[in-house]
Each structure stands twice: as C-alpha cells, then as structure tokens.
Amino acid sequence: MLFLRTWILGIKSLFLHPMRSALTVLGIFIGVASVIWLLAIGEGISQEAQKQIEGLGADNIMVRSRKPLNPPDAGSNSFILSYGLLREDYDMLVATLPNIRSAIPIREMQREVRYGDTNIEARVVGCTPEYAEVTRLEIERGHFITDAEVKLQENVCVLAAGVVEDLFPYEDPIGRSIYLQEHEDYYKIVGIVQDRNPTAAIGGSMDAQDFGSDVYVPITTIRKRIGDTIVVRRSGSREGQTIQLDQITLRVKGIENVQRTAELVEQVLEKNHGKVQDVAVVVPLELLEQARRTRIMFMVFMGLIAAISLIVGGIGIMNIMLATVTERTREIGIRRALGARRNDIIRQFLVETIVLSVMGGATGILGGYLCQPIIRLARSGLQWYKPEMIQSLPEVVRDVDPIIVPISIPLAFGISVVIGVMFGLYPAYRAAQMDPIEALRHE
C-alpha cells in the first residue's frame, strides 16, 4: 500500500506543473526517437547497399579490364592503346580452374543506335546466353540470345526496357531492326528484358551499371562486325584502344570455393598482366562481408550519436528535479517532521523521474515507428516542390526506405529509464539530506 501511495503521490506532483513535466518528457522523447530513427535510416541504407552487391552474385568472380595508369610505350607514331583481358586469358581460366561452373566473356561499348528518325546513345553488350542468368535479367517478350545465334554470329539483339521506351514508344519492337550508325549494321530484335535496378560502383574496379540503356548482341557478332579496335576522332586528332574482352564473369561451384578460386585467378592472369596491371579481380562475396562489417560499425556510430540526445534529456530531468527540490523544501520538511524517512524521500523523487523517463520512452517509441511514413511523406513533398534537389541526391539515399531495427526499441527504452534513474538520483539524495528543521523554516 505504501508503494502504491508513493507512486500516486509522485504522479500527482508531476501534474501540478504540466508544462514543466511535458518539456522534460519531450527531451527523453527526442532522445528515444532519435535512436530509433537513426538506426532505421542506417539499416535502410545498409540493406540497399547489400542488395546491390548481392545482385552481382555471391558465387561469382568478375575479372575486369581497366586502363593502366602507366601504359607501355607503343611508339611515337601509334595512337592506339592496347590493354585489358585477352581471349587467351579466357581460354586459360576455363582450362585451368577446377571449381568453375561456367565462364562468361563480355564486351561492352557505347554506340549510337537508330530506329527511324530517333537516335539514342546505348551501351552495346556482347555476351553469351548465360549473361542473363548471372545478371538476373528477366525476359518480358521474345527470348534472350541463344547458343545457336552466338555460334552463327547472327545480327540479332535484345533490348533493355529503357531502349524500348525511347525507340518504340508506340510499336512492338519484336521482329523489327535497329541500326548501329557507326558500323552501318542492322540488328534484328528478338527479345525485350524487364526493367532492372542499376548496380552501384565498386571502388575503382567496377563502374555503376545502368541496365536500362543496354543492347545485348552475341559476342561473336561483336567480334566479327566491330572488332577489337575502336578509333575515336576528336578535333582533327585520332585516338583508339584495342580491347578483346571487357569482363570475364566466373561462376564458382560453391561459395566456400570463391576466395581460393579468386587467388588462383590472380595467379593465372599474372602471366599476361603482371607488369601492366590492366585487369582487376572483383569478388562480390568479399564485398558483401565487408559491407556487413561496415554496417555494424555504422550502426554503433549512429547509436552513439543518438545516445547523446538521451544524455541531454537526462540532464534536463536532473535540472528539473533540482528545481523541484528547491521549490518543495518546505513540503520535504513537513514530511520529515511527520515521520518520513530519508529512504521515503528518495523513493518519492525517484518515482517522479522514472515516470518522466517511462512517459518519454513510450512516446519516443511511438515517434520512432512514424519514421517510415514521415520520411516517405517528406520525400514525396520534396519530389513535388523541389524535384531537382531529389535528383541530385545519390540513388541509395534518394530511394532508401528506413527499416526499424527490432533491438533499437527495447534498447532505447531501457537506456531512457536507466538515464532517468541515474540523473534523478542526485536530486533525490539532495532532498533526503535536508535538515527537517531548516526545511520547515524555508519560505
């Protein structure tokens, strides 16, 4: 009964000053909501980044051609730089590596594509049928490149959704032909792929890939019709490059073999590229593990920043309770004179701080759950009011959807109560140490 009466008295004391109590609760509310919000935003960004890496395939190894920083001297009269992966490298990797399920050669280039009077810039990708499975492309209509089309070096192509939208807004493209202007070749459209989210850039080894502007062609056709050497003319000068393959994607038998196979890949490529360093080995599994480790560090960092708000709220509780002790000095003296012990005084003031902390924590949790709808509403408002600002943001930030971290709810609430008790102990102790006679004399 004494315990219940102490709680009732503490709650009544808080309601005597509703504005002061509300402002104190607001401090804890902001702290708890901040913990939940920051962790939710951090989790959303982290999950989006991990999805993009997972889209590359955890059981894949990608070997990319890259322009060397210090290319070998090809002679003063040569304007063509030769670098990158060779078809010989592809043959060596296929013949040497024991745990490879498949190897996919890829050739990429930017080309102007025309249909009728419409011209667009597209990425022409020379590939094999396995490319669609590795990059998770879904066929909407028609079919992807077949083995027969690769073997016969046929002039066929498969269009990405963005290319179809630009060239065929009102027509069915299947069976029609597009024109590659620079090489004066027509390519018959045999399939359309569904829209696919782009992948993020990975360090200096791999650029971001936007699949919306792709035109997929048999890699043998690329070699036959276009060749390995590309010459660009600018302002009366010429410059060119010779690249046989832009990428080789290796699919490994079992994730447990990925790291060892990547080491073997580097050893095999050492023969042709050791001195020039014009290739890079990208291991998505390694990147995924690194992203997960970074996620943990990021979450801890965000949590520490949010915890500062809770500490500020705790300081607010201490400040309010110290002012309350001063205001209620005479009340404390009367209670002590009537037989209240020091523990009773401490208990009463601790009850008040706990009530403030619990109310702030509970409302903070409700505010935390509003994270997703508020951010979506704010993003929609900015999209309508300042679309250029939204477009200037990085894609991972522009499209991020906060994900509530389950552990953040009890963690934030528990910390708010602990901080409330910790910062309420000193005012309660100070009130209990008052001399009853001096307290009764207080005006």
Residue 164: predicted pLDDT: 92
Name the one residue in this structure whose structure tokens are 């008040």.
352
How many of the other CB atoms lie within 10 Å of CB of 434?
A: 18
Residue 204: predicted pLDDT: 45
- Amino acid letter, residue 113: V
How many of the other CB atoms lie within 10 Å of CB of 237?
A: 8
**How far apart are alpha carbons 46 and 397 in whole angstroms?**
10
**How far apart are alpha carbons 211 and 161 in whole angstroms?**
8
Beta bridge partners of 109: 124
Residue 146: predicted pLDDT: 94
Q: Which residues of the chain have pLDDT under 70?
A: 1-7, 9-10, 13, 49-58, 70-79, 182-184, 198-208, 232-238, 285-292, 306, 328, 390, 393-399, 435-443
Name the one residue in this structure whose structure tokens are 């063509």.
80
Go through the chain and tell me how many residues it has. Answer: 443
Domain extents in the chain: 2-53+290-441, 67-277
Alpha helices for 117-201 (secondary structure H): 130-134, 147-151, 161-167
- Amino acid letter, residue 105: P
Q: What is the DSSP letter of 202?
A: B
Q: How far is CA 401 from the centre of its chain?
A: 10
What's the alpha-carbon Rg for the chain, to the nearest Å?
34
Residue 377: predicted pLDDT: 83
Residue 143: predicted pLDDT: 94
- Amino acid letter, residue 91: D
Residue 322: predicted pLDDT: 76
Kindly state the tokens that stand for 402. 């906060």
What are the C-alpha distances in Å from 420 to residues 321, 365, 402? 11, 16, 28
Residue 288: predicted pLDDT: 61
pTM above 0.85, yes or no: no
What residues contact residue 398 under an 8 Å CB cut-off, 6+ apart?
379, 390, 391
**How far apart are alpha carbons 333 and 330 in whole angstroms?**
5
Residue 181: predicted pLDDT: 72
Residue 257's φ and ψ, nearest 5 degrees, are -95, 0
Beta strand segments in 264-339, E: 279-282
Residue 203: predicted pLDDT: 46
Residue 339: predicted pLDDT: 73
Residue 134: predicted pLDDT: 82
